[in-house]
């Protein structure tokens, strides 16, 4: 089972409800909301108000990716606004364990995020307390960056760790995902794919963007048995 999470960071905000509905009609599974504070990452984006706006537009799961300092101070606001999944970074976060527990205690699913330069071992201790691991394949801050292919081997290591210690958890990947690399990312062990540019900036429109990602995944599923035979 694969999930597509459409990141509204590349959506046209003058028409947000229409853009989200188009993504929903195109069959995306989740809506990904990138929250940036200008400190943890160089960019500033959106807060609970936009999550609440998205909640009124769609009933799809809202997947909130917090790229902020002291995320523990804002969990309640994001869950109140309608977040179903809340993911926090392992980097620079001394209260990570407590914050993951807080997310779950408020009834949301908890995710832990690693930057491209962070090794998989960094999250081992918190794996029993999460529902999702988000592996960044760009340095967080902006959409439209190039996928860092060196992260593929880390996705495989994390898949292995998850299978051993928390097999129900999802492995999500975020950054530069497109129809050319999505099959390799799935092969490496991911089951949830975040995409902003490939969906909202597709030259033929949102529906075509989502469809081309799905088609690339389906092709991978058809090819997999052969790959296994060859392997
Ligand atoms: C980057 C964000 C991503 C971003 C992905 O910091 O976390 O979710 O929106 O954008 P694309 O798919 O364009 O790389
Ligand atoms: Zn993101």
Domains, the chain, ranges and CATH? 3-230 (3.20.20.70)
- pLDDT tens per residue across all 231 residues of the chain: 899 999 999 999 999 999 999 999 999 999 999 999 999 999 999 999 999 999 999 999 999 999 999 999 999 999 999 999 999 999 999 999 999 999 999 999 999 999 999 999 999 999 999 999 999 999 999 999 999 999 999 999 999 999 999 999 999 999 999 999 999 999 999 999 999 999 999 999 999 999 999 999 998 777 665 434 332
Give CA–CA dist 21/181, Å, rounded: 26
Looking at 29, 63, 131, 174, which residue is catalytic? 174
Distance 161 CA to ligand 1 centre (A): 25
**Ligand 1 — pocket residues by CB below 6 A?**
7, 9-10, 32, 34, 65, 138, 140-141, 143-145, 174-177, 194-198
Residue 229: per-residue pLDDT: 37
34 is catalytic: yes
Answer whether 61's CB lies under 8 Å from 50's CB. no
Instruction: Indicate the helix (H) or strand (E) that contains 32.
Output: strand 30-36
Contacts of 184 (CB under 8 A, 6+ apart): 149, 152
Contact (Cβ atoms closer than 8 angstroms) between residue 185 and residue 2: no
Tell me what pLDDT residue 219 has. 86
Cβ atoms of residues 87 and 58 within 8 Å: no
**What is the reported pLDDT for 114?**
98
Please give the distance, rounded to the nearest whole angstrom, from the Cα atom of residue 226 to the centre of ligand 1.
32
Active-site hit among 29, 34, 63, 131: 34
- CB-based contact 109:172 (threshold 8 Å): no
Quote the CA–CA distance of 197 and 176 in Å, as a whole number.
8
pLDDT at residue 231 in the model: 29
Q: How many whole angstroms separate alpha carbon 215 and alpha carbon 63?
A: 23
Provide the residues around ligand 2 (an ion) whose CB is within 5 A: 34, 65, 174
Say if CB 122 and CB 96 are below 8 A apart. Answer: no
Report how far residue 34's alpha carbon sits from residue 168's, in angstroms, rounded to the nearest whole number.
Answer: 24
């Amino acid at each position: 089972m694969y999930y597509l999470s459409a990141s509204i960071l590349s959506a046209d905000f003058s028409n947000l409800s229409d853009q989200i509905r188009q993504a929903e009609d195109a069959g995306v599974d989740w809506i990904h909301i990138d929250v940036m504070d200008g400190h943890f990452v160089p960019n500033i984006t959106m807060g609970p108000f936009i999550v609440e706006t998205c909640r009124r537009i769609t009933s799809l799961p809202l997947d909130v990716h917090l790229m902020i300092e002291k995320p523990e101070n804002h969990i309640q606001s994001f869950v109140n606004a309608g977040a179903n999944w809340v993911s926090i970074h392992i980097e620079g976060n001394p209260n990570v364990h407590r914050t993951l527990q807080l997310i779950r205690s408020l009834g949301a699913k908890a995710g832990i995020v690693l930057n491209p330069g962070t090794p998989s071992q960094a999250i081992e201790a918190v794996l029993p307390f999460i529902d999702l691991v988000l592996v960044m394949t760009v340095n967080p801050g902006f959409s439209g960056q190039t996928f860092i292919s060196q992260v593929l081997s880390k996705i495989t290591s994390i898949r292995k760790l998850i299978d051993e210690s928390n097999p129900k958890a999802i492995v999500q990947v975020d950054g530069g995902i497109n129809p050319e690399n999505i099959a390799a990312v799935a092969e490496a062990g991911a089951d949830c794919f975040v995409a902003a540019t490939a969906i909202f900036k597709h030259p033929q429109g949102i529906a075509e963007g989502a469809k081309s990602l799905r088609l690339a995944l389906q092709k991978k599923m058809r090819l997999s048995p052969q790959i296994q035979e060859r392997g």
